[in-house]
Amino acid sequence: MNASGKPKRIGILTAGGDCPGINAAIRGVGKTAILEYGMEVIGISSGFLGLINQEYVQLDENQLSGILTLGGTILGTSRENPFKKDSIVNKPRLIKKNYEELGLDCLVCIGGNGTQRTASLLVEEGLNIIGIPKTIDNDVWGTDVTFGFDSALWIAVEAIDRLHTTANSHKRIMVIEVMGHHAGWLALYSGMAGGGDVILMPEIEYDIDIVAKYLKKRALNKKPYSIVVVAEGIPCPKGEKPGHYIADEITKRTGLEARETILGYIQRGGSPSPMDRVLATRYGAYAVELIAEGRFGMMVAAIADKITAVPLKEVGGKLRTVPLNHTLIEKAIRMDVCFGNC
Ligand code: F6P
């Protein structure tokens, strides 16, 4: 119950790029809030835009059933940034007004680092906020893992597995560009899980001549084909897609046939992996425990597989990139995987 003795009323919004697992998180929040704590749950459409335009839906058990395995978000999402100085309307003030008129005791913000930054700024505006970290990029500061990452990893690795057979049939070099924004988590993990020979990621500066030399040496050593995994966030000429650029440069510098696959939004679609369903459910349920305890201004997190919470003000706006001393990079180098730098 809140201070006026009424059941607590919580709002949920989903913002930023969608990913598998968001509906599992909504379900985790909703079922725990309604069935364990007797709270009321309001779904807010299209991220922060829904709080600006007053687009809401009451969530009860009916809306929450059958969504655990559903990709995307039943609430819709947007990349609306209310703190962006692009409008004469004071959007943060409008959000606070609508939050109060809705009679919310807390707002749960499911999103990536941009969403958590907006959430931390709304805390300063006086709203009670709980953040839940989601993104296929796995680049939210403060948590070891975001849900969405495991599902995207499965999709990327399944694609790389398929590229092995066609590369071998044609004796070609196959380049696959994976998502990840400015971080290389998806490239590193899918490259290692998929048996990539070359992995290019934003955190490690690459030299295309080194990549070409490494691939030529593989060909001279009678390796029938090579797999090159490229993060979308690596530097390449303006207007070029990294996957296209790297494939073209390999062909030009080695004389070997290279073809590219830009995996794109497939990595964001479809049903969540079992691990993402479990992680999203754990995050959602724990978010409600924090609300029941009145511990606002926090983001739920997984640290060493323990579900915990970190202050939003420590998370907002920070990017979690792959540390250069990551053990997976060390092991890859010992297995002669090329990162384009030596
Ligand atoms: O943040 C998730 C993500 O898929 C990134 O990997 C990608 O760079 C970006 O979103 C694409 O943004 P949008 O969906 O706005 O095109």
Q: Tens digits of per-residue pLDDT, 6-39?
A: 779 999 999 999 999 999 999 999 999 999 999 9
247 inside domain: yes
pLDDT at 21: 98
* pLDDT band of 2, cuts 50, 70, 90: confident
pLDDT at 54: 98
Q: How far is the CA of 34 from the centre of ligand 1 (A)?
A: 32
Instruction: Identify whether residues 208 and 137 lie together within a single domain.
Output: no
Residue closest via CA to ligand 1's atom 2 equals 17
Q: Which of 49, 77, 153, 181 for mutating ligand 1's site (highest number of atoms within 8 Å of CB)?
A: 181
Q: In ligand 1, which atom is closest to the CA atom of 136?
A: 2
Residue closest via CA to ligand 1's atom 13 equals 17
338 inside domain: no
321 inside domain: no
Q: How far is the CA of 18 from the centre of ligand 1 (A)?
A: 8
Instruction: Identify whether residues 71 and 83 lie together within a single domain.
Output: yes
Catalytic residue among 18, 105, 137, 197: 137
pLDDT at 226: 98
Is 180 close to ligand 1, i.e. is its CB under 6 Å away?
A: yes
326 inside domain: no
Q: In ligand 1, which atom is closest to the CA atom of 148?
A: 2
Is 184 close to ligand 1, i.e. is its CB under 6 Å away?
A: no
pLDDT at 241: 96
Q: In ligand 1, which atom is closest to the CA atom of 180?
A: 6
Instruction: Identify whether residues 143 and 87 lie together within a single domain.
Output: yes
How far is Cα 65 from Cα 281, in angstroms, rounded to an integer? 14
**SS3 state at 339:** coil
Q: How far is the CA of 170 from the centre of ligand 1 (A)?
A: 32
Q: How far is the CA of 342 from the centre of ligand 1 (A)?
A: 30
pLDDT at 120: 97
Q: In ligand 1, which atom is closest to the CA atom of 186?
A: 6
* pLDDT band of 3, cuts 50, 70, 90: confident
Instruction: Identify whether residues 141 and 18 lie together within a single domain.
Output: yes
pLDDT at 331 over 80: yes
Rounded percentage of the chain residues whose pLDDT exceeds 90 = 96
Instruction: Identify whether residues 109 and 182 lie together within a single domain.
Output: no
Instruction: Identify whether residues 171 and 120 lie together within a single domain.
Output: no
122 inside domain: yes
Residue closest via CA to ligand 1's atom 1 equals 17
139 inside domain: yes
pLDDT at 86: 85
What CATH code is carried by the domain that includes residue 57? 3.40.50.450
Residue closest via CA to ligand 1's atom 3 equals 17
Q: Tens digits of per-residue pLDDT, 120-143?
A: 999 999 999 999 999 999 999 999
Domain containing 194 equals: 150-268
pLDDT at 66: 97
311 inside domain: yes
Instruction: Identify whether residues 182 and 43 lie together within a single domain.
Output: no
- Sole residue written with tokens 């092995």: 164
H or E element that contains 236: none
Q: How far is the CA of 17 from the centre of ligand 1 (A)?
A: 5
Instruction: Identify whether residues 138 and 27 lie together within a single domain.
Output: yes
- Of 15-24, 82-91, 241-250, least confident by mean pLDDT is 82-91
pLDDT at 98 over 80: yes
Q: How many domains does the chain have?
A: 2
Instruction: Identify whether residues 139 and 256 lie together within a single domain.
Output: no
b/e per residue, 52-69, with b = 16+ CB within 10 A? Answer: beeebeebeeebbeebbe
pLDDT at 1 over 80: no
Active site residue 137: yes
Instruction: Identify whether residues 249 and 102 lie together within a single domain.
Output: no
How far is Cα 153 from Cα 93, in angstroms, rounded to an integer? 39
Q: In ligand 1, which atom is closest to the CA atom of 267?
A: 4
Q: Tens digits of per-residue pLDDT, 150-179?
A: 999 999 999 999 999 999 999 999 999 999
- What is the average pLDDT value for the chain, to the nearest integer? 97
**SS3 state at 194:** coil
Domain boundary (209, 240, 268) is at 268
What CATH code is carried by the domain that includes residue 220? 3.40.50.460
Q: Tens digits of per-residue pLDDT, 219-229?
A: 999 999 999 99
Is 134 close to ligand 1, i.e. is its CB under 6 Å away?
A: no
Instruction: Identify whether residues 187 and 225 lie together within a single domain.
Output: yes
323 inside domain: no
* pLDDT band of 5, cuts 50, 70, 90: confident
pLDDT at 256: 97
**SS3 state at 75:** coil
The predicted model scores a pTM of 0.97
Instruction: Identify whether residues 44 and 143 lie together within a single domain.
Output: yes
Q: Which of 134, 268, 319, 321 for mutating ligand 1's site (highest number of atoms within 8 Å of CB)?
A: 268
Q: How far is the CA of 171 from the centre of ligand 1 (A)?
A: 32
Q: How far is the CA of 232 from the centre of ligand 1 (A)?
A: 10
* pLDDT band of 265, cuts 50, 70, 90: very high
What's the order of all strands across the beta sheet hosting 173-178? 198-200, 226-231, 173-178, 258-262
